[in-house]
Amino acid sequence: MDLVASHALFDLAARFGSLEAKIYRREIGDEMDPGDVAEAQRLAREWLARL
């Protein structure tokens, strides 16, 4: 399971208003290394910048 990609996708969904995504993002984030969470957030920001 790719937690970085999962966190990034849940982050994007949460930014667009999904309450469930906020819950899942938090649960996954609790299992991740802080550096991996930062990487996931960076990936989500890059994706948003392309919109």
**DSSP output for the chain:** --HHHHHHHHHHHHHTT-HHHHHHHHHHHHHS-HHHHHHHHHHHHHHHHT-
- Model pTM? 0.89
Q: To which residue do tokens 């970085």 refer?
A: 4
Closest by CA to 6, choosing from 33, 50, 34, 37, is: 37
9-41 per-position pLDDT tens digit: 999 999 999 999 999 999 999 999 999 999 999
Q: How confident is the model at residue 51 (pLDDT cuts 50, 70, 90)?
A: confident
Distance CA 10, CA 35 (A): 17
